[in-house]
């Protein structure tokens, strides 16, 4: 610490000096905190994968913050945190959306589906993904699965081009794009012919 | 076994799982279902979050720092300052940290904008830690800085790292800093033509999807850590030297699924320093501490090829290359780098070579292996060969075949070398190019540069490049395999990082075939720490080391099983039970589909499961069944082995690279907008033996997409005035989407058997991504007839080359 | 250095969130907070700015208008198509009437950003979004530039490869660009922006003075709908976007055109470029060049050149002039196709 630097045990608000940083901190909490403005919070109910969750959320928390950090549904991933990669995709109101760019407080009452829910239902997409090795490091994979599932919920006759367009917002650094198209095409076939081997068939609305 | 220098003398006679397509991935369900845990997902009770101050300047020292408001911000539990007297001045952060040697875990001087340094705030949430960071008030001593290797080389240029390098910005550090073969002066004299040209590659970076992070928790004097790390053994090693010393047997290491780094993380202070700080604060607060970097902070380094390459090439008009001289001026090489002419040396008969590297310090992040450190060498081979082909008016494939060889020797000597090492003398390059040419209709489609306009108005181009297929990992692997009680399944034990290349499956396939087990009976969880490590990351073609170790361990274990099968069992001081196979010798037995059988009569056997029996406190000798061997207690069935390798990293005794890779590209160039469309890609890799073909294909797809992405878009852009990085996010730093590699990617594997790895295998992990990075250049040249030697090749550069701006 | 008072710093990063249930409520809340509140619809631009702490001040309140019923409908009315402010870009891109009658708008909405962002982003949000400039948007307000009330425009002497080719918005700079894809389409289609106070022609909707305004909206005014006049049968429209990547990216140059012909001869043309200037730029010289001519290579080439005749490229973006020329050409040619709306 430079000579002219301010001693760390001097209160930054009233300049009183203390013996230690800890003593100074205690002073700040007593003398200057006073009436803190209350954290503006909202109470919301989220229905995630069919289960209701009742939460008190800060306005600034994104849906990803709540799902991943607070509810422990760690399947959704955060690659870019700016809406540019698709790794945090969840399905809300039947649409593939980016949970890192949605405020949780605005999702009160919404039904949300995450990759965990898709796996719990044994959706045939999961097996197709495993079979065709549509993953390497796996970090982007949940985002692809949810986006693909939202596509198949709307359309079980997608062309190869339609699949690529729909997945064009999902970044994969390991470069697994070719395998995703194959996996989704195969899943669409399974859904059309009702041949979801040994697994429950996915319902149209997820 | 060490450094296999010859053909595998004892491959298997038949393969069952090795070479099979589509084994079920061990990690597949976890990753597709969202159940794969990564370090970023770790949450522990009472965990605190650590975030670092970032330097707003490219070169600056902290003069004063007032952290009092941050200290007293609600929710903050600790503020760690760089000048905390309890922090050591130096701590072991990993070997080969270049200029840093052993740096301080938290620095007071920044050498690039955005560098995490100065202070770390630890709070009950990430948001609070970030809010509190903004309250830290720093007085900075701004220093002059360099952003460009050429200006940093000039006399009078400011010093980028004055404390470490007070004399100049030049550092001579390479393994092959200067490489000489023959005599280039002589070669130029003999050449019919000489050309000189310059190639510029702008900086690009790894973009690891999982952001850097780690968790540290003390349990008494036991250090428990979770790390995003490609080399977990380094973590343990370095950690053991910290805080006055932590015994290795008191370190609990978790290396969960890894959200890819492609290098990046390798051996640099920003990897280990935050972990040190987290451990320090964890001790102070008594709580687990998790540090995280933002996406912006992950842009703290770059790949090793940023720089300017100057070539002088002498050749004859029949395409024979006689001399190549290259001076490469590369940025921030903290890792000993291969010389830019290295691949030409390794893969060709070019007799005269001289390469000099100037490693220049500039105020950007460190240049580290990023898929991979051989970028300068492969870019150079591509640049030289495609130029020579163009100058001679020849098909570049012909020029490649003409110059194929090794270390200055031609085909005849090459063949002799292959045979001498016990390999079949297969012309790998010829096979690769023939297959590739057929797949892309090369003979019909290739044309002279700038001569083909399509009906849609675009110009058509065909590109080709090649080099050796490499896997020369320097390192060691320790592997153990255990047969589990109760069901006779096999567990491979060794810690390594799983970053998605499906190595674990590959090792299971080797073990299954070697042991005679069914593939579904072999499993491998690399996240468990049995106290020893395989070589890691496998994306660095570590199969050539790990594969051997798996095989050795498997063979030892199989022998052990067969010996136990013929030996008396449940041996105590009071007696013993009959063997499972009385009157047999081990060589009379085999294991087939997880059943120990007599070779003479395979219908007679006992499953491995039944053989090993139960485990447990009530003991295996509890059965009241009558009849011989079913009473038995078999000894624990466990074996370990290891492999050590120096490969090509040993300049005294390099192993010639015998196999080749060839890549073809078809493009269309829109001459009004400069846009490049990738119509088709063909990758051909001679992997010697494709143990896990789908894993190899994954590397071909992935390498192509990354290579073309780098060729088209990727560049780290800095404000020239302030040195601030302008595109530190995934919108402005562009990596390819699924729509950006427009056409199909054909993947072809050749299996010549000419690899030093087990069964004649050669690696592929780094290869395609590295080589494809330079292929856009020749393809675009073939389309428009003008060289663009400044990568990435953006529309702007195409328009400029066409004379439109 | 005087430390800020504890209370002030506390309020900086969190905010109060309101759900508005009617237009009147939204307007009232905005009036209360003045410049200290932001409207949030899709949030895909706003949240990015807030995460990066781009601006010197942080909004005290966010007013969610997604809770206002009836603002997301797309309805055919007499002589026009009414698109609710909260209609998502996906809705707009996929709507049958938009596709058949206002092709440029459907194409523009369909090429904006990525499929996810189109599911979230609204049409009003798309035209109200903030400008793009990596100095302006550098995290933690690293460059306190002209637009933020600071001293200068950093792009003028910096890396301006994606910046304006038609000069600055104010004296001394601001060479940022407006990144919207739907904005030029709405201008080409002569749309009206309906707000809580008035009706504004799309062409007059944009204003980029300093201090983070991009539209002429007053502090307590919100967009409620966009009305596109029904295009007659002899008018065709088209939109082309040029970006480095085929998805996710903002445009480097885009262009929308609506061309009316009598037989083969062009009788009216509305051509609008964007991402080349701080506001969408209707290129009248190109329109004038084209009216009275047929759509062929020669005429569209001249129109393209005319579109950029007054370009003032910066040090690093001369190529954008070439691009703009080419994209104008191609957009006009696309309107000359016999198919499409």
Of residues B604 and C181, more confidence is placed in C181
**Domain containing A134 — which CATH number?**
1.10.150.120
DSSP B507: H
Is residue A146 included in any domain, yes or no? yes
The answer, for B28 touching chain A at a CB cutoff of 8 Å, is yes
What is the pLDDT, as a whole number, of residue B538? 85
Q: Which of residues 150-169 of C touch B (CB under 8 A)?
A: 154, 157-159, 161
What is the rounded distance in angstroms from the CA atom of residue B218 to the CA atom of residue B280? 10
Q: Which of residues 100-129 of A touch B (CB under 8 A)?
A: 114-116, 118-119, 125-126, 129
Closest CB to C247 among B56, B737, B796: B737
Model confidence band, residue C10 (pLDDT cutoffs 50, 70, 90)? very low
**Could you tell me whether strands B638-645 and B475-483 are parallel, antiparallel, or unpaired per DSSP bridges?**
antiparallel
In B414-554 the beta strands, taken as DSSP E runs, fall at 459-468, 475-483, 490-493, 522-524
What is the rounded distance in angstroms from the CA atom of residue B688 to the CA atom of residue B717? 40
B677-696 pLDDT, tens per residue? Answer: 999 999 999 999 999 999 99
Asked which of B611-620, B641-650, C101-110 is least confident by mean pLDDT, the reply is B611-620
B500 Cα to chain A: minimum distance (Å):
4
What is the pLDDT, as a whole number, of residue A193? 94
C-alpha Rg value of chain A to the nearest Å: 24
Listed in sequence order, the residues at least 6 apart from C198 whose beta carbon sits closer than 8 Å to its beta carbon are none
Closest CB to C48 among A82, A89, A166: A82
Is residue A23 included in any domain, yes or no? no
Question: Does pLDDT of C25 surpass 90?
Answer: yes
Q: What is the 3-state secondary structure (H, E, C) of B554-591?
A: HHHHHHHHHHHHHCCEEEECCEEECCCCCCCCHHHEEE
A141-177 pLDDT, tens per residue? Answer: 999 999 999 999 999 999 999 999 999 999 999 999 9
Test C138 with B724 for CB contact under 8 angstroms.
Answer: yes
Question: Does pLDDT of B217 surpass 70?
Answer: yes
Partners of B210 on chain A (C-beta within 8 Å) are 77, 79, 137, 139
Of A64, A88, A114, the position where a domain reaches its end is A114
In B14-160 the beta strands, taken as DSSP E runs, fall at 48-54, 60-66, 76-81, 109-110, 116-123, 137-142
DSSP B264: S
- Which of B303, B737, B738 to probe by mutation at the A interface, max A CB count within 10 Å? B738
The answer, for A66 touching chain C at a CB cutoff of 8 Å, is no
Test B500 with A136 for CB contact under 8 angstroms.
Answer: yes
The answer, for A166 touching chain C at a CB cutoff of 8 Å, is yes
Give percent above pLDDT 90 in chain C.
86
Partners of C321 on chain B (C-beta within 8 Å) are 805
Model confidence band, residue C212 (pLDDT cutoffs 50, 70, 90)? low
Q: Which of residues 187-246 of C touch A (CB under 8 A)?
A: 246
B554-566 pLDDT, tens per residue? Answer: 999 999 999 999 9
Range of the domain at A110: 43-114
B137-187 pLDDT, tens per residue? Answer: 999 999 999 999 999 999 999 999 999 889 999 987 656 688 999 999 999
Partners of B728 on chain C (C-beta within 8 Å) are 139
B297 Cα to chain C: minimum distance (Å):
12
Scan for tokens 């109200």, then name that residue.
C128
The answer, for C318 touching chain B at a CB cutoff of 8 Å, is yes
Q: How many CB atoms lie within 10 A of CB A187?
A: 26
What are the beta bridge partners of residue B460?
Answer: B668
- Which of B719, B727, B729 to probe by mutation at the C interface, max C CB count within 10 Å? B719
Same domain (yes/no): A110, A121 = no
What is the rounded distance in angstroms from the CA atom of residue B585 to the CA atom of residue B565? 9
**Could you tell me whether strands C223-229 and C265-274 are parallel, antiparallel, or unpaired per DSSP bridges?**
unpaired
Of residues B612 and B312, more confidence is placed in B312
Question: Does pLDDT of A205 surpass 50?
Answer: no
**End-to-end Cα, chain C, rounded Å:** 63
Closest CB to A168 among C14, C52, C114: C114
Q: The domain at B28-36+475-645 falls in which architecture?
A: 2-Layer Sandwich (3.30)
The answer, for B731 touching chain C at a CB cutoff of 8 Å, is yes
DSSP A103: B
The average pLDDT across A72-86 equals: 96
Is residue A20 included in any domain, yes or no? no
Q: Do you find a cis peptide bond into B792, omega within 30 degrees of 0?
A: yes
Question: Does pLDDT of B335 surpass 80?
Answer: no
Identify the helix (H) or strand (E) that includes residue B177: none
Is residue A130 within 8 Å of B17, Cβ to Cβ? no
The average pLDDT across C64-79 equals: 96
Same domain (yes/no): A101, A132 = no
C-alpha Rg value of chain B to the nearest Å: 29
A97 Cα to chain C: minimum distance (Å):
5
The answer, for A188 touching chain B at a CB cutoff of 8 Å, is no
Same domain (yes/no): A104, A160 = no
What is the pLDDT, as a whole number, of residue B574? 86
The answer, for A131 touching chain B at a CB cutoff of 8 Å, is yes
Same domain (yes/no): A154, A175 = yes
Q: Do you find a cis peptide bond into B537, omega within 30 degrees of 0?
A: yes
The average pLDDT across A118-137 equals: 97
Test B33 with A119 for CB contact under 8 angstroms.
Answer: yes
The chain-wide mean pLDDT, for chain A, equals: 90
Model confidence band, residue B536 (pLDDT cutoffs 50, 70, 90)? confident
Neighbours of chain A (3+ CB pairs under 8 A): B, C
Model confidence band, residue B266 (pLDDT cutoffs 50, 70, 90)? low
Question: Does pLDDT of B54 surpass 50?
Answer: yes
B156 Cα to chain C: minimum distance (Å):
24
Is residue A8 included in any domain, yes or no? no
Partners of A2 on chain B (C-beta within 8 Å) are 63-64
The answer, for C298 touching chain A at a CB cutoff of 8 Å, is no
Test C134 with B737 for CB contact under 8 angstroms.
Answer: no
The average pLDDT across C83-92 equals: 98
Closest CB to B72 among A28, A80, A133: A28
B72-113 pLDDT, tens per residue? Answer: 999 999 999 999 999 999 888 875 555 567 888 999 999 999
For the record, the structure tokens of C309 come out as 């005749």
What is the rounded distance in angstroms from the CA atom of residue B202 to the CA atom of residue B197? 17
* CA triple B690-B692-B695, angle to 5 deg: 110
What is the pLDDT, as a whole number, of residue A206? 34
Same domain (yes/no): A183, A141 = yes
Same domain (yes/no): A134, A109 = no
Closest CB to B63 among A2, A11, A78: A2
Q: How many CB atoms lie within 10 A of CB B220?
A: 6
Question: Does pLDDT of C74 surpass 70?
Answer: yes
What is the pLDDT, as a whole number, of residue A4? 60
Scan for tokens 């499953």, then name that residue.
B607
For the record, the structure tokens of A100 come out as 């890192």
The chain-wide mean pLDDT, for chain B, equals: 93
**Domain containing A94 — which CATH number?**
3.10.20.30
What is the rounded distance in angstroms from the CA atom of residue A57 to the CA atom of residue A53? 12
3-state secondary structure of B249: helix
Of residues B234 and B267, more confidence is placed in B234
Model confidence band, residue B473 (pLDDT cutoffs 50, 70, 90)? confident
The average pLDDT across B700-721 equals: 97
Size of interface A-C (CB pairs under 8 A): 95
What is the pLDDT, as a whole number, of residue C1? 35
What is the rounded distance in angstroms from the CA atom of residue C176 to the CA atom of residue C165? 10
Scan for tokens 């496998």, then name that residue.
B538
Neighbours of chain B (3+ CB pairs under 8 A): A, C
Asked which of A40-49, B218-227, B482-491, B707-716 is least confident by mean pLDDT, the reply is A40-49
The answer, for B52 touching chain C at a CB cutoff of 8 Å, is no
The answer, for C12 touching chain A at a CB cutoff of 8 Å, is no
* CA triple B644-B647-B650, angle to 5 deg: 105
Q: Find the residue in A nearest to C14 (Cα).
A: A60
Is residue A109 included in any domain, yes or no? yes
Test B737 with A74 for CB contact under 8 angstroms.
Answer: no
Test A79 with B499 for CB contact under 8 angstroms.
Answer: no
Test A81 with C15 for CB contact under 8 angstroms.
Answer: no
Scan for tokens 């163009």, then name that residue.
B390
Q: How many domains does chain A have?
A: 2
Closest CB to A173 among B41, B207, B739: B207
Model confidence band, residue B619 (pLDDT cutoffs 50, 70, 90)? very low
DSSP code string of B725-758: BS--STTTS----TTSS-S-EEEEEE-----SSG
Give percent above pLDDT 70 in chain B.
95
What is the pLDDT, as a whole number, of residue B615? 57
Closest CB to A130 among B28, B66, B207: B28
What is the pLDDT, as a whole number, of residue A2? 56
Listed in sequence order, the residues at least 6 apart from B86 whose beta carbon sits closer than 8 Å to its beta carbon are B280
Neighbours of chain C (3+ CB pairs under 8 A): A, B
Q: Which of residues 672-691 of B touch C (CB under 8 A)?
A: 672-675
Of A89, A114, A139, the position where a domain reaches its end is A114
What is the rounded distance in angstroms from the CA atom of residue C106 to the CA atom of residue B598? 73
Torsion of CA C263, C265, C269, C275, to 10 degrees: 110
Same domain (yes/no): A173, A137 = yes
Q: Which of residues 397-456 of B touch A (CB under 8 A)?
A: none
Test B673 with C326 for CB contact under 8 angstroms.
Answer: yes
Test C248 with B737 for CB contact under 8 angstroms.
Answer: yes
Q: Domain spans of chain B?
A: 28-36+475-645
Identify the helix (H) or strand (E) that includes residue B45: none
The average pLDDT across B773-782 equals: 97
For the record, the structure tokens of C218 come out as 């007053």
Same domain (yes/no): A127, A90 = no
Partners of B294 on chain A (C-beta within 8 Å) are 81
Question: Does pLDDT of B618 surpass 70?
Answer: no
What are the beta bridge partners of residue B79?
Answer: B121
Q: If we measure between CA atoms, which residue out of B346, B190, B345, B337 comes closest to residue B659? A: B346
The average pLDDT across B426-453 equals: 98
- C253-262: strand order across its sheet: C235-242, C253-262, C265-274, C281-282
Is residue A60 included in any domain, yes or no? yes
Asked which of A33-42, B440-449, B622-631, C35-44 is least confident by mean pLDDT, the reply is B622-631
Q: How far is CA A88 from the centre of its chain?
A: 4
The average pLDDT across B738-762 equals: 95
DSSP A60: T
Give percent above pLDDT 90 in chain B.
82
Q: Which of residues 266-325 of B touch C (CB under 8 A)?
A: 296
Assign 3-state DSSP to chain B and report helix, strand, coil percentages, each to 5. Answer: 30, 25, 45
What is the pLDDT, as a whole number, of residue A183? 98
Test C159 with B720 for CB contact under 8 angstroms.
Answer: yes
Q: How far is CA B802 from the centre of its chain?
A: 37
A106 Cα to chain C: minimum distance (Å):
8
Q: Find the residue in C nearest to B57 (Cα).
A: C142
Test C242 with B720 for CB contact under 8 angstroms.
Answer: no
Q: If we measure between CA atoms, which residue out of B476, B49, B50 comes closest to residue B231? A: B476
Q: If we measure between CA atoms, which residue out of B674, B708, B715 comes closest to residue B801? A: B674
Is residue A18 included in any domain, yes or no? no
Is residue B583 within 8 Å of B600, Cβ to Cβ? no
For the record, the structure tokens of B631 come out as 């009473």
Q: How many CB atoms lie within 10 A of CB A205?
A: 10
Is residue A6 included in any domain, yes or no? no
What are the beta bridge partners of residue C254?
Answer: C241, C274
Q: Is the C-alpha dihedral spanning B55, B59, B61, B64 positive or negative? A: negative
Same domain (yes/no): A131, A159 = yes
Closest CB to C16 among A59, A86, A96: A59
Of A114, A134, A165, the position where a domain reaches its end is A114
Model confidence band, residue C169 (pLDDT cutoffs 50, 70, 90)? confident
B550-601 pLDDT, tens per residue? Answer: 999 999 999 999 999 999 988 888 888 889 999 999 999 999 999 999 999 9
């Amino acid at each position: 610490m430079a000579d002219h630097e301010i001693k760390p045990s001097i209160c930054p608000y009233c300049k009183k000096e203390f013996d230690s940083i800890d003593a100074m901190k205690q002073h700040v909490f007593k003398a200057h905190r006073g009436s803190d403005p209350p954290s503006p919070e909202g109470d919301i109910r989220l229905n995630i994968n069919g289960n209701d969750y009742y939460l008190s959320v800060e306005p600034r928390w994104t849906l990803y913050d709540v799902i991943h950090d607070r509810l422990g549904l760690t399947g959704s991933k955060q690659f870019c945190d700016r809406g540019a990669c698709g790794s945090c995709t969840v399905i809300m109101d039947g649409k593939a959306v980016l949970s890192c760019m949605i405020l949780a407080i605005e999702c009160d009452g919404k039904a949300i589906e995450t990759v965990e829910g898709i796996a719990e239902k044994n959706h045939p997409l999961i097996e197709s993904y495993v079979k065709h090795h549509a993953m390497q490091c796996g970090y982007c994979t949940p985002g692809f699965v949810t986006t693909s599932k939202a596509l198949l919920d709307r359309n079980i006759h997608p062309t190869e081009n339609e699949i690529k367009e729909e997945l064009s917002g999902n970044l994969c650094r390991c470069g697994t794009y070719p395998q995703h198209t194959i996996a989704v095409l195969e899943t669409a076939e399974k859904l059309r012919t009702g041949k979801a081997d040994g697994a429950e068939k996915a319902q149209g609305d997820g | 076994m060490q450094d296999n220098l010859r053909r595998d003398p004892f491959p298997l006679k038949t393969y069952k799982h090795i070479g099979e397509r589509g084994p079920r991935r061990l990690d597949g369900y976890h990753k597709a279902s969202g159940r794969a845990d990564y370090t970023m997902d770790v949450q522990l009770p009472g965990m605190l979050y650590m975030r670092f101050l970032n330097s707003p300047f490219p070169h600056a020292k902290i003069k004063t720092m007032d952290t009092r408001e941050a200290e007293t911000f609600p929710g903050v539990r600790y503020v760690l300052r760089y000048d905390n007297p309890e922090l050591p001045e130096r701590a072991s952060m990993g070997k080969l940290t270049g200029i840093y040697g052993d740096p301080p875990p938290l620095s007071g001087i920044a050498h690039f904008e955005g560098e995490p340094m100065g202070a770390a705030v630890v709070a009950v949430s990430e948001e609070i830690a970030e809010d509190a960071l903004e309250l830290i008030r720093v007085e900075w001593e701004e220093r002059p800085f360099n952003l460009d290797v050429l200006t940093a080389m000039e006399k009078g240029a400011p010093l980028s790292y004055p404390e470490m390098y007070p004399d100049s910005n030049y550092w001579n550090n390479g393994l092959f800093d200067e490489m000489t073969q023959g005599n280039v002066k002589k070669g130029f004299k003999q050449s019919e033509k000489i050309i000189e040209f310059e190639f510029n590659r702008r900086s690009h970076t790894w973009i690891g999807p999982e952001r850097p992070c780690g968790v540290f928790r003390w349990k008494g004097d036991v250090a428990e850590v979770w790390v995003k790390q490609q080399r977990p053994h380094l973590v343990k090693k370095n950690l053991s030297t910290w805080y006055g010393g932590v015994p290795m047997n008191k370190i609990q290491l978790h290396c969960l699924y890894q959200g890819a780094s492609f290098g990046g993380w390798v051996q640099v202070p920003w990897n280990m320093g935050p972990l040190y700080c987290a451990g320090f604060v964890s001790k102070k607060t008594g709580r687990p501490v998790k540090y995280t970097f933002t996406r912006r902070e992950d842009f703290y380094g770059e790949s090793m090829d940023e720089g300017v390459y100057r070539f002088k090439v002498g050749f004859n008009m029949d395409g024979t290359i006689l001399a190549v001289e290259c001076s490469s001026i590369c940025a921030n090489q903290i890792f000993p780098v291969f010389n830019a002419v290295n691949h030409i040396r390794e893969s060709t008969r070019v007799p005269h070579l001289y390469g000099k590297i100037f490693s220049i310090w500039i105020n950007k992040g460190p240049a580290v292996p990023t898929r991979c450190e051989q970028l300068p060498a492969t870019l150079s081979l591509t640049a030289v060969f495609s130029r020579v082909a163009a100058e001679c008016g020849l098909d570049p494939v012909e020029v490649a075949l003409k110059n194929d060889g090794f270390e200055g020797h031609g085909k005849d000597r090459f063949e002799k070398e292959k045979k001498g090492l016990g390999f079949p003398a297969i012309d790998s390059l010829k096979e690769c190019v023939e297959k590739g040419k057929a797949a892309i209709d090369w003979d019909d489609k290739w044309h002279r540069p700038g001569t083909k306009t399509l009906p849609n108005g675009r110009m058509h181009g065909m590109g080709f490049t090649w080099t050796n297929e490499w896997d020369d990992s320097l390192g060691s692997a320790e592997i153990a395999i255990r047969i589990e009680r109760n069901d006779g399944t096999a567990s491979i034990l060794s810690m390594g990082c799983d970053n998605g290349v499906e190595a674990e499956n590959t090792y299971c396939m080797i073990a299954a075939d070697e042991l005679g087990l069914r593939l579904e009976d072999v499993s491998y969880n690399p996240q468990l720490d049995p106290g020893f490590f395989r070589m890691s990351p496998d994306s660095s073609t570590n199969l050539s080391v790990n594969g051997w170790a798996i095989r050795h361990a498997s063979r030892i274990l199989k022998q052990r099983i067969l010996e136990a099968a013929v030996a008396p069992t449940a041996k105590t001081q009071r007696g013993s039970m009959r063997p499972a196979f009385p009157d047999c010798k081990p060589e009379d037995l085999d294991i087939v589909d997880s059943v120990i059988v007599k070779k003479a009569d395979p219908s007679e056997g006992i499953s491995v499961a039944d053989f090993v029996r139960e485990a447990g406190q009530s003991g295996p000798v509890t059965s009241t069944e009558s009849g011989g061997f079913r009473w038995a207690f078999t000894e624990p069935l466990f074996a370990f082995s290891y492999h050590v390798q120096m490969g090509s990293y040993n300049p005294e005794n390099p192993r010639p690279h015998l196999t080749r890779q060839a890549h073809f590209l078809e493009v269309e160039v829109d001459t009004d907008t400069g846009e490049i469309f990738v119509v088709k890609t063909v990758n051909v890799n001679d992997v010697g033996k494709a143990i896990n073909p789908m894993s190899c294909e994954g590397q071909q797809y992935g390498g192509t997409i990354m290579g073309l992405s780098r060729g088209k878009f990727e560049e780290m852009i800095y404000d020239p005035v302030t040195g601030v990085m302008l595109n530190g996010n995934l919108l402005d730093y562009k990596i390819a989407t699924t729509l950006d590699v427009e056409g199909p990617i054909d993947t072809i594997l050749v299996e010549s058997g000419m690899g030093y790895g087990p069964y004649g295998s050669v690696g592929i992990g780094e290869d395609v991504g590295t080589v494809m990075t330079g292929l856009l250049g020749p393809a675009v040249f073939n389309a428009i007839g003008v060289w663009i030697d400044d990568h990435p090749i953006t529309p702007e550069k195409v328009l400029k080359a066409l004379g439109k701006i | 250095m005087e430390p800020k008072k504890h209370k002030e710093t506390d309020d900086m990063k969190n905010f109060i969130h309101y759900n508005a249930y009617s237009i009147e409520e939204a307007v009232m809340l905005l009036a209360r907070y003045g410049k200290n509140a932001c409207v949030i619809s899709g949030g895909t631009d706003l949240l990015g700015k807030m995460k990066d702490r781009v601006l010197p001040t942080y909004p005290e309140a966010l007013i969610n208008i997604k809770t206002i019923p009836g603002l997301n409908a797309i309805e055919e009315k007499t002589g026009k198509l009414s698109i609710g402010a909260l209609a998502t870009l996906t809705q707009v891109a996929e709507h049958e009437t938009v596709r058949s009658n206002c092709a440029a708008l459907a194409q523009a909405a369909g090429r904006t950003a990525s499929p996810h962002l189109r599911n979230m982003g609204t049409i009003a949000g798309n035209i109200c979004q903030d400008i793009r400039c990596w100095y302006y948007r550098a995290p933690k307000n690293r460059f306190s530039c002209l637009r933020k009330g600071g001293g200068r425009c950093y792009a003028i002497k910096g890396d301006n490869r994606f910046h304006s080719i038609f000069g600055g918005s104010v004296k001394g700079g601001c060479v940022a660009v407006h990144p919207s894809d739907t904005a030029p389409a709405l201008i080409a289609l002569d749309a009206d922006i309906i707000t809580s106070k008035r009706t504004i022609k799309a062409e007059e909707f944009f204003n980029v003075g300093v201090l983070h305004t991009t539209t002429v909206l007053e502090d307590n005014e919100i967009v409620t709908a966009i009305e596109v006049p029904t295009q007659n049968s002899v008018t065709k429209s088209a939109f082309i976007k040029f970006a480095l990547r085929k998805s996710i990216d903002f445009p480097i140059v885009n262009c929308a055109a609506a061309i009316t012909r009598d037989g083969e001869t062009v009788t009216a043309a509305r051509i609008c470029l964007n991402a080349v200037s701080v506001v969408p730029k209707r290129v009248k010289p190109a329109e004038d060049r084209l009216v009275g001519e047929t759509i062929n290579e020669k005429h569209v080439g001249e129109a393209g050149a005319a579109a950029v005749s007054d370009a003032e490229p910066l040090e690093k973006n001369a190529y954008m002039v070439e691009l703009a020329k080419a994209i104008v050409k191609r957009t006009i040619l696309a309107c000359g196709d016999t198919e499409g709306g």
